[in-house]
Amino acid sequence: MKKHYDVIVIGGGTAGSAAAIACAMAGARTLIVERNSYLGGSASGGQVTPMMHIGIDGNYGDSYLNEVIKKKMAGEGNAADDQYGNDGWINPEMLKFTLEELYTEHGGEILYLTELIDTVVEENNIKGILVHNKSGLTLITAEVFIDCTGDADAAYLAGVPCFVGDEKEHNNQAMSLRFMLGNVDIERLKAFLKDIGEEDILKYPLVEIASVWEQDTPLCRLFRKGLKEHRIEYEDGMYIQAFAVPGMPGVMSFNCPEIPDIYNTLDSAEISCALVTGRKMIKRLYRFLQEFLPGFEKSFLVSVAEMPGIRESRRIKGLYVLSEEDYERRAKFDDAIARTAYPIDIHGLLDEKQLGIKAMERGEYFEVPYRCIVTEKLENLLVAGRCLSSTFTAQSSVRIQPTCRALGEAAGIAAAYCVKNGRKVNELDGRIVRDFMASPDYSSLL
């Protein structure tokens, strides 16, 4: 393995895999350092499927690489689109293969099962990172580093100022722990939902079920019956959502349970408690579904996500801090690298209505500038994904997978460009990155 690279991407999740693929496509010598044994992060190991839609007609604003990934998966029968134009329905297990193939076919290298330990910083530059794996402690160097850890771990270790949680109590958004059930009779489930008067919004074989206590829907009333008969507990039914999975007939992926009373996503003890609590909740929900919801009688537990669904933790202080005011004024930027109309979505705390923020109407969107992924402190560090520079509230709108992929792609383009041209990433004109994203020709970067 080479010990010096053009670009090192720390974290191969949603943003990190896109960043690394962009670098490799541009011809940069690229290494991904990944703590898990696969790429995709929350989308694969966290089973976060389907991807939420950015809310812009025709997916206008999706990154080029996001389209490449979805097209490859759809061509292999592992992705689908619904009648409303959301083509983010993916098979989380096969995503691991897709990302790895797209990256390695362009010469990218990976160190799996490798933890970041520390950074070596000299004269406003990261010179190298200290990592640990089965080979022991290793120092790896590069010209440019991209922090896609989700928690801004590399940036934090290198001394970059960071925000954590909301601005008052510093609480984080609620965590979830997803799971999948197999051998579900989806036709029987859809027929039952129709019989009880539940709205059927998707065409077979796609199906979605959802319930929260605040809504008086037929499905919610079923969960209330389970609560009354002590089959589930109140926390189990606070947020229920489940989806069919392309390429996995008879499998449904559950975007729940949402773990109550855990507000620090950087505390290992709290995360461990959340995992234990989540598995107890999953077991209750599974037994309830078998007993109360036709179609689940002979179902079995396929898997519980390998990683908790953490929506937010650290956020860097970049050259620009994206805010809810940018959301409200539908801000546009000369150096925009992503755009979205996804709503303010703060799990476990507040929503748009409670905050008095006007939701996007059709055709409206706001943008994320390049300045949100670079810092004043370090000249060769980019930070992409949910840990971008933003307020707590604004982050809840831009943390979804398509936006994180766009941020990762932008970081990869910027890194490759700066390596070729000897530029500092925090002095690069973001309009250059924007132009490459609008008409991608990565081969011209290096």
Per-residue pLDDT at 351: 52
> Residue type for 110, please?
I
Of 36, 38, 31, nearest to 10 by C-alpha is 31
For residues 130-144, give the mean pLDDT.
97
Strand pairing partners for 322? 390
Contact 74, 87 (CB under 8 A): yes
Per-residue pLDDT at 438: 84
Q: Helices then strands (H, E): number in the chain?
A: 12, 18
Residue bearing the bigger pLDDT, 58 or 181: 181
Span of 33-47, 52-66, 76-90, 280-294 with lowest mean pLDDT = 52-66
Per-residue pLDDT at 287: 98
> Residue type for 1, please?
M
Query: Could you tell me where in the chain the CATH 3.50.50.60 domains are found?
Result: 4-169+312-444
Give the pLDDT confidence of 223-264 residue by residue, as tens digits. 999 999 999 999 999 999 999 999 999 999 999 999 998 889
Euclidean distance between CA atoms 343 and 53, whole angstroms: 10
395 pLDDT exceeds 90?
A: yes
- Place 443 in a pLDDT band, splitting at 50, 70 and 90: low
Contact 413, 7 (CB under 8 A): no
Give the pLDDT confidence of 22-63 residue by residue, as tens digits. 999 999 999 999 999 999 999 999 999 999 889 887 666 668
318 pLDDT exceeds 90?
A: yes
196 pLDDT exceeds 80?
A: yes
Which tokens belong to 265?
Answer: 């996503």
> Residue type for 75, please?
G
Structural fold of domain 4-169+312-444: FAD/NAD(P)-binding domain (3.50.50)
For 265, phi then psi, to 5°, come to -85, 10
Span of 280-294, 307-321, 346-360 with lowest mean pLDDT = 346-360
Contact 326, 332 (CB under 8 A): no
- Place 1 in a pLDDT band, splitting at 50, 70 and 90: low
- Place 161 in a pLDDT band, splitting at 50, 70 and 90: very high
Per-residue pLDDT at 430: 97
Per-residue pLDDT at 348: 77
Per-residue pLDDT at 445: 63
For residues 148-163, give the mean pLDDT.
98
Which tokens belong to 40?
Answer: 């995709």
For residues 101-116, give the mean pLDDT.
98
Span of 48-62, 71-85, 304-318 with lowest mean pLDDT = 48-62
Give the pLDDT confidence of 347-371 residue by residue, as tens digits. 876 554 557 888 899 999 999 999 9
Euclidean distance between CA atoms 43 and 53, whole angstroms: 14
Question: Beta strand pairing status for 30-33 and 109-111?
Answer: parallel
Q: What percent of the chain has pLDDT over 70?
A: 96
For residues 174-193, give the mean pLDDT.
96
CA angle 369, 367, 359 (to 5 degrees): 145
Q: What percent of the chain has pLDDT over 90?
A: 87
SS3 assignment, position 393:
helix
Euclidean distance between CA atoms 44 and 206, whole angstroms: 19
Which tokens belong to 385?
Answer: 């994904």
Per-residue pLDDT at 3: 81
Per-residue pLDDT at 308: 96
Give the pLDDT confidence of 266-280 residue by residue, as tens digits. 999 999 999 999 999
**pTM for the whole structure:** 0.96
For residues 74-88, give the mean pLDDT.
91
> Residue type for 19, please?
A
Contact 181, 44 (CB under 8 A): no
